[in-house]
Amino acid sequence: MAQFEEVSQKSAVHPKPVGLVLQYGTAGFRTNSKQLDHVMFRMGLLATLRSKKTKATIGVMVTASHNPEEDNGVKLVDPMGEMVTPAWEVYATQLANAEQEELLTALKDVIEREAISMAQEASVFVGKDTRPSSDSLSQAVLDGVHALGGHSKDYGLVTTPQLHYMVCCQNTQGRYGEATVKGYYRKLSQAFIQLTKNVPNRTDDQKALLVDGANGIGALKVCEMETYLKNELQLSLFNDGSSGKLNHLCGADYVKVQQRAPKGVEMTAGERCCSYDGDADRIVYYYSGSAGRFHLLDGDKIATLISTYLKELLTQAGLDLQIAVVQTAYANGSSTQYLEDTMKVIVRCTKTGVKHLHHAAQEFDIGVYFEANGHGTVLFSKAAEEKIQKLAQDSNTNDERRRAALLLQNTVNLINQTVGDAISDMLLIEAVLAIRGMTVQQWDAIYTDLPNRQLKVKVADRRVIDTTDAERRTVSPAGLQEAIDSRVNKYRRARSFVRPSGTEDVVRVYAEADTQESADALAHEVSLAVYRLAGGVGEEPKSL
């Protein structure tokens, strides 16, 4: 078949290094950009097949998000804007790792197993972040799409959540919104302005927000959006990419893990600040308190703020909708306790990775999902959206209920339900703080985080670590869980777990306890146990 000849010829331009094997990670393939050309070409092929199979547009985003600038990666987007279904991750791995002469066989295998009609048209949307390697790698994706005769639309530089949004808009024939970057700005800014317009006497101070753009795509895009916000939000942008390196000493991951302000952000006491990550799908907030103490408001605090706000509106609207919060093992113990005991909402814990949280959140009328690292969004079931809309349009209902329903309706419009979105989340948080008349300090005071510490340990092969119970316990290597348990038992209110990262070549260690000293000591002791029992390489972890 001519198509396969074309694939054969084009794939020779994107050859696979012999013997290279890559794992499909937490959010797709991710490694040094030099190893990824063939993977990108092949993901272009796979996205085209997925499009033929689903008869819908598929998205491919070239980004390595929070990783260092030298890395790159790829995220695949399914028709409704969600991460590609896990069954296809297996095909992605097979295609990425097939040696050059095996590629056609691997491709035909997917076609056969999925009974794909090759006569079906295909459409793929492609986006990229600002890494220097993203230009040629996104071209490799496009080459893959065209080799199989697929149609493509190259959105160029966009945030990951913008690409997810475009895919969903396209596949809902515009019902979710217009599949353009301008359409995205218009929808979100209109909802934001509707939400905040009736808040009395918002001062310039209340409208002011410092943004760390991580020297990445989020900085470019939030700048583009600013005029749409009509001064309802006054942003001061730092790390805008004009000089600094992507994610270097800045960005959401740096701020969350290091628990300190990013380089270059000039904050004065009490000012609200936030950081995006490298592809703007995560956000964390922070401020400097009295005596210059750094206060972090991470994904758990964001989930709490948003779910409290939604629950209040549901009560005011008299709507009986079930609300749940989905977290991962990284969620601070205090947040889970607050959500369950004080707010009395359902809390679920899943494995790390947006796809897991997203899936769990879909089971509820309203599912608020956030990873502690700031990646998250809110999902509304179709029935919930319809109930909200009906009430908002019901002129016979009383003012309080109607007002709450209208706020809920605009909140739905402000949220990018396809995936975590730093810009959309930022606008939502700003709107909630304005509507509830809360300062960042009052938000922070909802509950007090347990002191915690995250570390990374280098091992020869991180796959030796296997976990269970939503990654809260290890099952291998032998003796590791017992070692963790015995160390946790030495401290008060302590918890610790380890898991292999799916985006970096490290094992992640998390520990929390009643004091920072205890959390630090526990994290160090558990790191040592990992190093000794799971094949640590390089220097032994040192105490903090």
3-state SS, one letter per residue, for 193-232: HHHHCCCCCCCHHHHEEEEECCCCHHHHHHHHHHHHHCCC
- By beta-carbon proximity to ligand G16, the closer residue of 26 and 304 is 26
Is residue 503 a contact point for ligand G16 (CB under 6 A)? yes
Q: How far apart are CA 211 and CA 196, in angstroms?
A: 20
Known binding-site positions? 65, 277, 279, 281, 371-373, 499-503, 508
Element (H or E) spanning 509, and its range? strand 507-512
| Marked catalytic residue, from 11, 33, 51, 65 | 65
Is residue 462 a contact point for ligand G16 (CB under 6 A)? no
197 three-state secondary structure: coil
Is residue 69 a contact point for ligand G16 (CB under 6 A)? no
- By beta-carbon proximity to ligand G16, the closer residue of 27 and 522 is 27
Stretch that binds ligand G16, among 139-147, 234-242, 277-285, 305-313 (CB under 6 A): 277-285
- Considering only 11, 48, 54, 65, the residue that binds ligand G16 (CB under 6 A) is 65
Is residue 128 a contact point for ligand G16 (CB under 6 A)? no
- Considering only 50, 272, 282, 487, the residue that binds ligand G16 (CB under 6 A) is 282
Minimum CB distance to ligand G16, residue 235 (Å): 21
- By beta-carbon proximity to ligand G16, the closer residue of 171 and 467 is 467
Is residue 371 a contact point for ligand G16 (CB under 6 A)? yes
Catalytic site residue 8? no
Q: How far apart are CA 492 and CA 379, in angstroms?
A: 36
Is residue 281 a contact point for ligand G16 (CB under 6 A)? yes
Known binding-site positions for Mg(2+)? 65, 277, 279, 281
Contact (CB, 8 A) for 131 and 220: no
Is residue 78 a contact point for ligand G16 (CB under 6 A)? no
- Considering only 10, 38, 66, 256, the residue that binds ligand G16 (CB under 6 A) is 66
387 three-state secondary structure: helix
What phi, psi does 28 have (nearest 5°)?
115, -170
495 three-state secondary structure: strand
What phi, psi does 16 have (nearest 5°)?
-90, 130
Is residue 511 a contact point for ligand G16 (CB under 6 A)? no
Q: Are strands 452-457 and 507-512 parallel, antiparallel or unpaired?
A: antiparallel
Burial class of residue 182 in the structure, from the number of CB atoms within 10 Å of its CB (0-12 exposed, 13-18 middle, 19+ buried) = exposed
Is residue 417 a contact point for ligand G16 (CB under 6 A)? no
Minimum CB distance to ligand G16, residue 69 (Å): 14
Q: Are strands 208-212 and 57-62 parallel, antiparallel or unpaired?
A: unpaired
Is residue 352 a contact point for ligand G16 (CB under 6 A)? yes
Q: How far apart are CA 94 and CA 480, in angstroms?
A: 31
Is residue 222 a contact point for ligand G16 (CB under 6 A)? no
What six digits make up the tokens of 406?
A: 């209208």
Minimum CB distance to ligand G16, residue 234 (Å): 27
Q: What angle do CA 67, 534, 544 make, to 5 degrees?
A: 65
Angle between helices 299-317 and 399-414 (to 10 degrees): 150
Is residue 256 a contact point for ligand G16 (CB under 6 A)? no
Is residue 375 a contact point for ligand G16 (CB under 6 A)? yes
Residues that bind ligand G16 (CB under 6 A): 26-27, 65-66, 277, 281-282, 352-354, 371, 373, 375, 501-504, 508
Catalytic positions, written as ranges:
65
